[in-house]
Amino acid sequence: MPAPNIKQIVQSKVNELLLLKDRKLPVEVGVKVTNSILNNFRKGSFYGQPWEQPLRSKIGFDGPNHGPLTSGSNHLMLSSDYMPLPGRVIIQNRLVYASVHNYGAEITVTQKMKGYFWSRYINAGGYNHGNMSKEAEFWRNMAIKKVGSTIKIPQRQFMGDHPKVDKLVEDIIIKNLTKVATDGINTRR
């Protein structure tokens, strides 16, 4: 029986590991973590920690009742993505306002915002003063805020560090390393 070429076998496994590190793991981790972010939106929580309910739910807006941070278009939810790089992956949401929701913020009322609030007030039936809906009343109260006053946006974290993310990444890495280590070795090369 010819002696196995140990150097060639080891080099083959090293090449598999390099491919795993530079391409396969970043893509698999990126897909799984962005899917877990979508799950956070669907559940209205950050890995089991519920988000504060939106004011529209508390005061009983008419029309479709979307959960926190969701809308008819789900633009914020669907804007989370990943960028695989050699040996790492960047998980991101490129929307400018994503960080406002993820970390919370105080925003300053502008004249343009007041115009938007008045528009929403009218669309909610605010012109009918005798029978104003709670939604119209909400938008009127927003519209009469002074320019320069602040609106507090509560934190509704949907992405970031969490032990469940760490566990997810660890499981993916261990599964893939085990597969490379246990896949058959062809000693007849």
C-alpha–C-alpha distance, residues 150 and 138, integer Å:
16
Alpha-carbon Rg of the chain, whole angstroms?
Answer: 25
pLDDT, tens only, 33-82:
999 999 999 999 999 999 988 777 777 776 556 667 777 678 999 999 99
| pLDDT for 58 | 77
| pLDDT for 189 | 46
| pLDDT for 186 | 59
Question: Count of CB atoms within 10 A of residue 180's CB?
Answer: 14
pLDDT, tens only, 58-72:
777 765 566 677 776
| pLDDT for 53 | 83
Low-confidence stretches of the chain (pLDDT < 70) are: 1, 62-67, 72, 185-189
Beta partners for residue 92, in sequence order: 81
* Alpha-carbon dihedral 171, 44, 66, 71, rounded to 10 degrees: -50
- Identity of the residue numbered 78: L
| pLDDT for 176 | 96
